[in-house]
Chain A
Amino acid sequence: GIQVEQSPPDLILQEGANSTLRCNFSDSVNNLQWFHQNPWGQLINLFYIPSGTKQNGRLSATTVATERYSLLYISSSQTTDSGVYFCAVASSNYKLTFGKGTLLTVNP
């Protein structure tokens, strides 16, 4: 099956800093989504982005499908951004495969 690697595994930031999270995948995809899991366990869908670039407030994402990677960019980080960020992909169907996530801690 498709392999998903996320980096870095852990990231600690001071409030106000910017960060870039990376997701590499082993095969072509037609479905890629980024999620944020907050400290209470709730998974929030951030982006559906199998290709191209999208922005939503302080967050933006870019997927370069031909090179099999996606980036999630967080600007002016806030303590509420803390949690685990997951990339999930599917190559030919609905069955999303999740990476192991990036644990982000934003300190005040």
Chain B
Amino acid sequence: GAGVSQSPRYKVAKRGQDVALRCDPISGHVSLFWYQQALGQGPEFLTYFQNEAQLDKSGLPSDRFFAERPEGSVSTLKIQRTQQEDSAVYLCASSLGGYNSPLHFGNGTRLTVT
């Protein structure tokens, strides 16, 4: 596709459930990022992939968060045993490569944990 695609657009989970969020980056983009955006705030970095390698996961809030990109294209962000504080918009972004390439974001997944 022409842009970064994320699914689902909205997700409601009961506390304790596991969720999986999908990101399909722009074709050919080497770098893939996950960000978390709380209401009224700017996005905050979660993790970074270069191809299939996860080079930085320093922003993941806890060990309940796990991300993968096994074939260097589609990525999945998984949250285990969701908590209410996990409620946020999860944004995926991709770029051609390197740290000086423009970032292109998907529409995000709005996660609500009840």
Contacts and interface: CB of A to CB of B under 8 A. Distances in A.
Interface string A46-66: 001010000000000000000
Interface of A: 30-31, 33, 35, 40-45, 48, 50, 86, 88, 90, 93-101
Given A30-B99, A42-B105, A48-B102, A94 B43 contact: no
A31 to B, nearest CB: 5
A98 B44 CA distance: 7
Contacts of B102: 33, 45, 48
Contacts of B89: 41
Contacts of B93: 43
A86 B99 contact: no
A96 B43 CA distance: 9
A72 to B, nearest CB: 15
Q: B43, B56, B104, B110 — which one has the most chain A CB atoms within 10 A of its CB? A: B43
Nearest to A42: B107
26 contacts: A30-B100, A33-B102, A41-B89, A41-B107, A41-B108, A42-B105, A42-B107, A43-B43, A43-B93, A43-B105, A43-B108, A45-B104, A45-B105, A48-B101, A50-B100, A86-B43, A88-B42, A88-B43, A93-B99, A94-B31, A94-B48, A94-B99, A95-B48, A96-B45, A96-B103, A100-B41
B42 A101 contact: yes
Contacts, number: 56
Contacts of A96: 45, 103
Given A41-B89, A42-B107, A43-B91, A31 B44 contact: no
Contacts of A45: 102-105
Contacts of B1: none
Given A31-B99, A50-B100, A94-B99, 7 more contacts: A30-B100, A43-B91, A44-B105, A48-B101, A94-B33, A95-B48, A95-B56
